[in-house]
Amino acid sequence: MHRRSIPLATALALGVAGGSAAAEDREASASLGIAINQGNTESERYNLNADYLERTNAHRFTANLELNRGKDGDGDEDVNNSRIGGGYDWFFHGPWYANSTLSWRQDRKADLRQRYVAGLGAGYQFFDDDRTRLSAEAGPTYISEETLGGSRSREGALRWALDYRQYFAEGALRFFHRHELITEVDDADEWFVTTRTGLRMPLMENLSASLQFNYDYDNNTEADSRYDATTLVNLTYDW
């Protein structure tokens, strides 16, 4: 992973002063996991995850991609979902920042052809250094959704998100957790949450092994397809 860091206080001070600077921190990673079971239980599972972050004194850009596919023992597709997201943060006063996000998701097993979520809000950066990163953000959000049957809906909502990363054992072990909760304004029972939690341990330069637990819950769908829990063991390449 290519990293160049300056103290957070210095970065925030320069950002508030309005000075321009080149990127001080850049991170990118891609993870791939494959599980093929044979014998009493036959199945195939494939997943791909990619993340990108770039931070300057006053600006931060993020992007992420998730692809999950799978077949059961009969060869029938039983996993097919994808998510693409991006965000922009502007640090306007110390650790406070204005936030904008845009994401797209599909999940055939949840009867979701596509869902666009666009939001604005404010966030607070509690920590951001080589050991700890912690931020929280909230704000209004717009949801546009279409089911596989062609039903469409557009709703206003509220969004809450948290991003936490912590290094242990002198950087040899990384713990991460992030979640996003979105609930509709007109109906508090219509909500969905996405969480990503895991550990990452380096194997060699730029290559690490990760254990990750994904939990998604969508209260908008039928009871038998409301949640999706997945445990991933992946190889991750950082640069």
Domain containing 134 — which CATH number?
2.40.160.40
Q: What is the average per-residue pLDDT within 105-120?
A: 94
- Cα separations in angstroms, 176 against 31, 107, 183, 195, 213: 14, 25, 24, 11, 10
Q: Is 181 exposed, middle or buried (0-12, 13-18, 19+ CB in 10 A)?
A: middle
Say how many C-beta atoms besides its own lie within 10 A of residue 119's C-beta: 23
In a domain, 201, yes or no: yes
The answer to whether residue 131 scores a pLDDT higher than 50 is: yes
What is the reported pLDDT for 227?
A: 86
In a domain, 137, yes or no: yes
Q: In Å, how far from its chain's centre is CA 130?
A: 20
Per-residue pLDDT band at 49 (split at 50, 70, 90)? very high
Structural domain span for residue 42: 8-238
Q: Structure pTM? A: 0.84
In a domain, 40, yes or no: yes
What is the reported pLDDT for 157?
A: 98
What is the reported pLDDT for 73?
A: 82
In a domain, 2, yes or no: no
Task: Output phi, psi for 190, to 5 deg.
Answer: -95, 100
In a domain, 196, yes or no: yes
- Cα separations in angstroms, 119 against 161, 183, 227: 11, 12, 23
